[in-house]
Every structure is written in C-alpha cells, then in structure tokens.
Amino acid sequence: METDLVLLALIKTHKKITGYELNSSMRDSDRYFLSVSLAYIYPTLKKLHQRGLVTFTTVPMTNRPDKKLYEITPAGEEVLREWLKKPIEPDMYFSAFLLKMQFAPLMEKSTVLDHIDREIARLQGKISDLGQLPNCINSGKIDQPMGEVLLDISNLLTGTSELRIAWLTKWRERVLDA
C-alpha cells in the first residue's frame, strides 16, 4: 500500500506524468528507499484509477501504444494528505522516515515538525536502550566475548543515532525559520 501512496505523491509532485516517467523518477530518486518495476507500476496505476485517486488523459502516439498522462484527483489528494500526516513507523534503517519526508514540501509545516520530533524522540529512546547494555554484561546475562562485540555494535548505533539527531535538529530549525 505504501508504494501506491508514493506513486500518488510523485503524481502530485510532477502534475502530468506517464507510468514510464514514474518508473524513471523512482529509479533515479527513490531507489534507496523503495524498489519498484514497471510490472508493478502499471497495475498499480490501474488500481489507483479504479479507486478514483488518479485520472489520466490519453495522448495518441504514432507506431506506439497511446501514452497516458496521470494526474491526482481531489480524492487522491485527500488520501495522500492523510498518509503524509500519519506518524511514521519506526524503522531500524531510517528509510521509512526518509521515504515519507522526501515529500515534506507537500506537508503542512506542523506535520513536518511532528514527524521530526517523533523521530528525534525515537532515536533518543534507542540511545537510552543501548545504554542499558553494560548493565546486562556486568550482571552476567551476556557473556564477556559476546558482550564486547555487542558493545562495539552498540557504540556504532549510538554514534549513528546521535548524528541523526543532530541532523534532524538542524532540519527542524530550518523548518521553523522558513
């Protein structure tokens, strides 16, 4: 379902766009977050059209199949707006957050700030949880050799989370200043 919503967002962003152009756009900009092929895009566009979320105009082509230019409908915009407002599910790899936030220009400022604040809180919770690992090792719940490996991993994850929090905090400041 989330792929359907990404297609809606791309259609909204690009106004009139073909399935082929959607595929190119996803391959060029979204491939790090979502991998989709033309074999998925065209049936999904058909479903979105059947649900009344997109419409298309047909452009006749010579010696090729006709081209369909897709546009989002008001119903599609409402579905998209609701998805963009919905809290982002926690994701170990940060990609769910980045996937949705690439459409921040389509969101209200308060929604962008809410998403950033939730992500900062999630990362702070993760750091807090990782901070409990030494207690587990010292109590003997985890043996020493495995504990050392886990501490190395924990330090890496903590450092990564701290960098993400710093980046998110700067982004939040820019959003507030805009």
For the stretch 48-84, pLDDT in tens is 999 999 999 999 999 988 999 999 999 999 999 999 9
Question: Which residue bears the tokens 């700067």?
Answer: 170
Give the 3-state secondary structure of residue 131. Answer: coil
pLDDT tens digits along 118-145: 999 999 998 888 887 787 677 765 666 7
* Contact (CB, 8 A) for 73 and 52: yes
Enumerate residues 6+ apart whose C-beta is below 8 A from 111.
84, 85
Three-state secondary structure call for residue 157: helix
Residue with tokens 């962008």: 112
Does this model's pTM top 0.85? My answer is no
